[in-house]
Amino acid sequence: KILILDFGSQVTQLIARRVREANVFCEVHPCDVTDDFIRDYAKDGSLKGVILSGSHMSAYEESTDKAPAAVFELGLPVLGICYGMQTMAQQLGGKVEPGQSREFGYAEVRAHGHTALLEGIQDATNAEGHGLLKVWMSHGDKVTQLPAGFKVMASTPACPIAGMADETRKFYAVQFHPEVTHTQQGAAILERFVLKICAAKADWIMGDYIAEAVEKIRAQVGKEEVILGLSGGVDSSVAAALIHRAIGDQLTCVFVDHGLLRLNEGQMVMDMFGRNFGMKIIHVDATDQFMGKLAGVSDPEAKRKIIGKEFVEVFQAESGKLTAAKWLAQGTIYPDVIESAGAKSKKATTIKSHHNVGGLPDTLHLKLLEPLRELFKDEVRKLGVALGLPPEMVYRHPFPGPGLGVRILGEVKKDYADLLRRADAIFIEELRNTIDPATNKNWYDLTSQAFAVFLPVKSVGVMGDGRTYEYVVALRAVQTQDFMTAHWAHLPHELLGKVSNRIINEVRGINRVVYDISGKPPATIEWE
Ligand code: XMP
């Protein structure tokens, strides 16, 4: 395995992801772990190398975080990235100084010497025959003096030491970010580091993972009973399928329908897990209870809180009836783990913490079973497919916990939800059915998230002989990598026209459809 020490960069997760894409197992830990932790971690010989991440600190706030000294005493390869390079330089006797100018974004880096890390990896060759790499840089400070034993491995005009290497000790460092996709050879560089230089085994493979995970779950829960809150979302669905594979009927799922799900979603969940998988599921239709609590409430945060609180109450009431249960299973995935660890250690800046409304309290007095804790979203999806979940479900766009509750602006009413569900289903159906000739993919797969929003305003229309005063639906479709920034999708006009026609003709109560052309930032993806 590979250890990644996190100095708080927003993109540390991507390092882990690239390493796992090379089929090598890795874990991220905060940079301030102790020397004892490091030595202990390496004790059984399975640790093959260490990567030091970048930091979110700007050039103005000087970061004083250091890697535990033990990292450099293990006799294992170490790769420093951005701030990780600077701290490596400083800790090993080199010098780091504030740069005259900061370098952000695209840069061309020239490779020097012949190092095991960069040899043969390049985007182009310059006039003198040196390899050129197109990379993404983001730094203010820079290394100005190499530590003893190091040579220059890469440079840019603004940053003469953009990479350094001590090949005897197998210490490598780069000022640019190989983990982001803008660095075209980044994945190749990280793969070279973990597979060749660290000689880590590429044995992180899904099929083996299932067998291993099943064994682990069996050993953990023994003959005891487990409950799981199934939402129909990817994470809880995959967790359910995996745990069911391990312990069958010892698992009971509780599916709380808050009345704010998409069209036929409740039925689909019951068919899939109940009928196809033969799981024990309790379907709680709590629509009236949720609608009752939401009546008269129009503030978005208040609505989110109510939905979250009711969810916990309904779930608790149901699980209270399952007196034999000793375990609560949750679909916590790796980014959730890093995010909450980051929030605690203040290492990574958390942006989306308010989004986790479904967190269940520890008052249930159950032991926690979280079999997806080590996996990234794309790994969870692959696991889901390997477990037999339909790809359409596993690759569905994300859907917020409060559901249509945040897509009906202002007060939530059942009638509004019914109209919105039908409009949304038409939009999604047309996206799935329309192929983009340039890519030969359908527009659902070409967008990251698409949905309809209900606007509780009435506008005038004319239908037949009379005037109508009916509601408005907005369509939203975005393309994004990480949901932190997003572009509105340039859907073909014919597709938009067809969706609009169908919604107005088929959903009585709506006489106007508009398309949202705002990017994030400054707009958010959801309307509330
Ligand atoms: P925004 O609207 O902040 O959304 O651009 C970014 C991503 O987060 C989802 N989202 C939520 N997910 N509970 C959730 O579970 C929420 O309250 C919530 N609000 C936004 C949104 O759908 C998008 O994927």
Bridge pairing between strands 124-125 and 131-145? antiparallel
- Ligand 1 touching residue 526 (CB < 6 A): yes
Q: How far apart are CA 130 and CA 156, in angstroms?
A: 12
Atom 14 in ligand 1: residue holding the nearest Cα: 400
Instruction: Determine the pLDDT at residue 207.
Output: 73
The predicted pLDDT at position 284 comes to 96
pLDDT tens digits for range 344-383: 444 443 333 333 334 566 666 899 999 998 888 888 999 9
Q: Phi and psi dihedrals of 76, rounded to 5?
A: -110, 155
What is the atom index within ligand 1 of the atom nearest the CA of 401? 15
Nearest alpha carbon to residue 70 among 47, 97, 95, 54: 47
CATH class of 2-197: alpha beta
Any alpha helices (H) in 248-299, and if so which ranges?
265-269, 287-294
Determine whether 344 is exposed, middle or buried from the number of CB atoms within 10 Å of its CB (0-12, 13-18, 19+): exposed
* CA 354–ligand 1 middle distance (angstroms): 9
pLDDT for 365: 81
What residue's CA is closest to ligand 1, atom 7?
Answer: 483
Helix, strand or coil, per DSSP, at residue 278: coil
Asked, colleague to colleague, whether 2-197 and 206-394 share their fold, the answer is yes
Does ligand 1 have an atom closer than 6 angstroms to the CB of 402?
Answer: yes
Name the residue of 447, 482, 525 whose CB sits within 8 Å of the most ligand 1 atoms, as the mutation to test its pocket. Answer: 525
Whether the CB of 478 sits within 6 Å of ligand 1: no
pLDDT in tens, the chain (528 residues): 999 999 988 788 889 889 988 999 888 899 999 999 999 999 999 999 999 999 876 444 566 789 999 999 999 999 999 999 999 999 999 999 887 777 778 899 999 888 999 999 989 988 887 889 999 988 778 899 999 999 999 999 889 999 999 999 999 999 999 998 889 999 999 999 999 999 999 988 877 789 889 999 999 999 999 999 999 899 999 999 999 999 999 999 999 999 999 999 999 999 999 999 999 999 999 999 999 999 999 999 999 999 999 999 999 999 999 999 999 999 999 878 776 665 544 444 333 333 333 456 666 689 999 999 888 888 899 999 999 999 999 999 999 999 999 999 999 999 999 999 999 999 999 999 999 999 999 999 999 999 999 999 999 998 888 899 999 999 999 999 888 889 999 999 999 999 999 999 999 999 999 999 999 999 999 999
Query: How far, in Å, is the centroid of ligand 1 from the Cα of 156?
Result: 39
Distance 483 CA to ligand 1 centre (A): 8
325-329 and 225-230 as β-strands: parallel, antiparallel, unpaired?
parallel
Whether 483 is in the pocket of ligand 1, judged by its Cβ within 6 Å, is: yes
Ligand 1 atom showing the smallest separation from residue 399 Cα: 22
Q: How far is the CA of 351 from the centre of ligand 1 (A)?
A: 11
Superfamily for 206-394?
HUPs (3.40.50.620)
Structural domain boundaries in the chain: 2-197, 206-394, 414-515
Annotated binding site: 231-237
Residue 357 has a pLDDT of 34
Q: Can you say which residues are annotated as belonging to the binding site for ATP?
A: 231-237
List pLDDT tens digits, range 81-116: 999 999 999 999 999 988 777 777 889 999 988 899
Angstrom distance (rounded) from CA 74 to CA 247: 40
520 pocket-lining for ligand 1 (C-beta < 6 Å): yes
The protein residue with its alpha carbon nearest to ligand 1, atom 22, reads 400
Mutating to test ligand 1, I would choose from 424, 483, 484, 527 the residue with most ligand atoms within 8 A of its C-beta, which is 483
How close is the Cα of 447 to the center of ligand 1, in Å?
A: 16
Residue 247 pLDDT:
98
How high is the pLDDT of residue 353? Answer: 34
CA–centroid distance, residue 304 to ligand 1 (Å): 11
Note the pLDDT of residue 363: 64
Which residues are marked as active site? Answer: 82, 177, 179
Indicate whether residue 54 lines ligand 1 (CB < 6 A). Answer: no
Q: Reduce the DSSP state of residue 152 to 3 states and report it.
A: strand
* Fold for the domain defined by 414-515: GMP Synthetase; Chain A, domain 3 (3.30.300)
Would the CB of 355 count as within 6 Å of ligand 1?
yes
ipTM above 0.90, yes or no: yes
* Length of the chain measured in residues: 528
The verdict on the CB of residue 524 being under 6 Å from ligand 1 is yes
pTM of the predicted protein model: 0.74
Q: What b/e string do you get for 156-192 counting C-beta neighbours within 10 Å, with b at 16 or more?
A: beebebbbbbbbeebbbbbbbbbbbeebebbbbbbbb
